[in-house]
Amino acid sequence: MSKIGENMVLGIGIDIIEIVRVERALWRRRSLLGRLFTPPEIAYCLERGRPGASLAARFAAKEAVRKACSSAIPGEVIPWLDVEIDMDKGHPMVNFLGKTAQKAVANGIRDVFVSLSHSEEYACASVVLSGDQ
């Protein structure tokens, strides 16, 4: 395993998605918005110039977190609403909520590094989990 400072890398995840795919899915099934995103995420994204791009980037980040957690929290499928992508002074950060927050601590996850990006067509995210093994 690799180290970040004094912590070990516990998981890595990446995801990419077509923005228009997210926009169409949310248009067709309005209930998806509340099933995939927390109220603060929705509020933030709806204030952006192209809400669908911001929502797609957050969806990609949540999927990347779920992939990273598959090695750090084995046997668990992380619920969508237990992962919140927040902004801190212009930088994205991951908040674990609900039981996932407790499981993250119990499995030694101390830090979550996330990067979001999007172009006209695609949104992507990468995640690195670090902590104690």
Q: What does the pLDDT look like over 6-41, one tens digit per residue? A: 779 999 999 999 999 999 999 999 899 999 999 999
Question: Is 67 assigned a catalytic role?
Answer: yes
Q: For the whole prediction, is pTM greater than 0.75? A: yes
Catalytic residue among 3, 62, 67, 99: 67
Question: Is 91 assigned a catalytic role?
Answer: no
Token pair 């309005």 is at which residue?
30
pLDDT, greater one: 71 or 37 = 37
Cα dihedral sign, 47-50-51-54: negative
All domains in the chain, ordered by first residue: 3-131 (3.90.470.20)
